[in-house]
């Protein structure tokens, strides 16, 4: 669910029904938790196969995007806080390709990866994915209007490198005012997105 990144401490979990008729994203910051469900209210209609505008709706697609849009607004006046420290328990972290049910490999698109933690010794056994076998074309997220660090975090999480250009602007200092390529376009995984960031007032 990297599409849910809001640039502050948070956690989230995706969920998708076996036939893609329901998809969820549940996440929280220290101050509040929010759950998003996407589906057809008429019944168990698969969200794939021409029934929706994208190939298949998973928890990391529309539900994560809706969660992000809501939480960006809902937390705007909240200070960013860290979560409390959990008791020291040995754990195992697995990066799972949720579209294939195997361990993510170096070419797995970030939006297809769930990071799962288990108490040591209780983790399930997964094979490493054999596909994809090369970098993929990924959709570039729109980060115009975000702060510089939030934009960088969002792009990194989406699988891209970042180049930054600072320009005088009447926008608040540190705000992203342009990006290349633009949001919604496609770029090869690990490709570079150039962001233009306001650095202060325009010269008089």
Express each pLDDT in 121-162 by its tens digit.
899 999 999 999 999 999 999 999 999 999 999 999 899 999
Q: Residues for the chain: how many in total? A: 204
Q: Which CATH architecture has domain 137-198?
A: 2-Layer Sandwich (3.30)
Using 50, 70 and 90 to split pLDDT, how confident is the model at 78? very high
From 63, 48, 72, select the one nearest 3 (Cα to Cα): 63
Which pTM does this prediction carry? 0.52
Residue range 62-79: average pLDDT? 95
The larger pLDDT score, comparing residue 44 to residue 89, is at 44
The predicted pLDDT at position 87 comes to: 77
Q: How far apart are CA 112 and CA 100, in angstroms?
A: 9
pLDDT tier for residue 61 given thresholds of 50, 70 and 90 = very high
Q: Is 34 in contact with 47 (CB distance < 8 Å)?
A: no
pLDDT tier, 202 (very low <50, low <70, confident <90, very high otherwise): low
N-to-C CA span, the chain: 44
Strand ranges (E), the chain? 11-16, 22-29, 32-39, 91-97, 102-103, 113-119, 137-139, 161-167, 176-180, 186-188, 192-198
Q: What is the mean pLDDT of residues 183-199?
A: 94
Mean pLDDT over 64-77 rounds to: 95
Domain segments of the chain as ranges = 2-74, 87-134, 137-198
């Amino acid at each position: 669910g990297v599409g849910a990144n809001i640039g502050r401490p948070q956690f989230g979990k995706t969920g998708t029904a076996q036939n893609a008729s329901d998809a969820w994203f549940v996440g929280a910051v220290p101050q509040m938790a929010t759950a998003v469900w996407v589906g057809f209210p008429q019944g168990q209609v698969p969200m794939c196969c021409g029934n929706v505008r994208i190939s298949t709706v998973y928890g990391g697609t529309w539900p994560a995007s809706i969660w992000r849009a809501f939480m960006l607004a809902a937390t705007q006046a909240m200070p960013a806080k860290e979560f409390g420290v959990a008791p020291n328990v040995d754990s195992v972290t697995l990066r799972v390709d949720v579209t294939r049910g195997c361990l993510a490999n170096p070419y797995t698109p970030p939006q297809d990866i769930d990071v799962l933690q288990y108490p040591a010794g209780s983790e399930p056994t997964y094979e490493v994915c054999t596909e994809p076998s090369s970098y993929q074309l990924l959709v570039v997220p729109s980060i115009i209007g975000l702060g510089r660090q939030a934009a960088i975090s969002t792009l990194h999480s989406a699988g891209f490198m970042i180049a930054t250009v600072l320009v005088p602007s009447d926008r608040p200092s540190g705000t992203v005012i342009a990006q290349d390529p633009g949001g919604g376009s496609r770029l090869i995984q690990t490709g570079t997105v150039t962001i233009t960031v306001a650095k202060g007032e325009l010269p008089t």
